[in-house]
Amino acid sequence: MTHPRLIRRAALACGAVATALAVDFVTKWLILNVVMAPPRTIEIAPFFNLTLGFNTGVSFGMFREFFLDRPLVLAGIKMVIVAGLLVWAMRTERRTETVSLGLVAGGAVGNVLDRMRQGAVTDFLDFHVGNWHWPAFNMADTMITIGVVLLIAGSFWRPRSMARAQKQPSRPEH
């Protein structure tokens, strides 16, 4: 990849990371300092509440017991993964892939910062059907999910350079 192109990819990835971090930071700050002061459950719709929770585990609270006293171990593991995602984001030729990976990395960093500050991740989005509740999550998790969905969807689209190459008629050899 050429130098200017690498800089554009880095800027695009960093922009996605910054967007994910900003959305996550602002929503968590609002929940902790405005909306959930005092903590309570707020019914938004028959299937959706705002409910304050703190996750000391990984996805859906898995391995909670192991990481409860070791929040920095999980933070370290996630930061290694984030570094790998950012390297991938800068090496890819596809802008959608760069943005997708930046959103995933930004969401992961948002949760890592929570874990480092308070030993747990702040969760507040509670979707449910009757008494069955999906594990609560936050906007960092939402950014990760959007990034993964875009990454998967983007894998089905051909890059423009490939599409252009296939449209050009081939020259017969003499």
- Supply the residues annotated as catalytic: 123, 141
Length of the chain (residues): 174
Name residue, tokens 């003499």.
174
Q: How far is CA 117 from CA 30, 72, 77, 91, 134, in A?
A: 16, 10, 16, 32, 25
Question: How far apart, in whole angstroms, are the C-alpha atoms of residue 145 and residue 137?
Answer: 11
Q: How far is CA 13 from CA 33, 45, 91, 110, 141, in A?
A: 30, 35, 11, 15, 18
CA angle 22, 152, 160 (to 5 degrees): 95
